[in-house]
Amino acid sequence: MKSLSGSAAAGMRLDKWLWAARFYKTRSLATDEIGKGRISVNGQVAKASRELRVGDTVLVRQGPVARTVVVMGLSQLRGPAPVAQALFEETPDSLAARTQAAEARRLAAEPALSIEQGRPTKRDRREIERTQVEWQRWSASIDDS
């Protein structure tokens, strides 16, 4: 592969690799996530300028899911998805955890069902109007005695 770096001694910036491997759409998004501490390399919180080498283990937290990948190649260019997928290999533990998390999300209850009160729907409002008796406005300044 021409876009993959052949030398294991050569490194590249972490933010650039995350962008090239298509974990993030832009380098600035990758840099922001690194700054928030959501990316670690070889068990250590990393900076965007960290030199990444082939064989390093990268932990990427995207939302509720954490992915652990091993760097298999380096690329200076953001290429098509098949080329990007060749840059890393996800660990079996990470794949199992992601599958389990996806299954748990699929089986979880719909969040909207837990809302007991809130703004009434149009149907609810019509039902309320049908069942309510006409109410009169009351004011303390008007004394009907």
Write the pLDDT tens digit of every residue in 54-98. Answer: 999 999 998 888 999 999 999 888 989 999 999 999 999 999 999
What is the pLDDT confidence band of residue 5, given thresholds at 50, 70 and 90? Answer: very low
CATH code of the domain made up of 12-97 = 3.10.290.10
- Name the helix (H) or strand (E) containing 12: strand 12-13
What is the number of other CB atoms lying within 10 angstroms of the CB of residue 40? 17
Q: Does 116 score more than 60 pLDDT?
A: yes
**Is 0.75 topped by the overall pTM?**
no
HSE on the CB side for 71, CA within 13 Å?
31
Degrees to nearest 5, angle at CA 96 with 95 and 98: 65
Mean pLDDT of the chain: 84
d(CA 83, CA 41): 22
What confidence score (pLDDT) does residue 137 get? 66
Judged by average pLDDT, the poorest of 59-68, 98-107, 131-140 is: 131-140
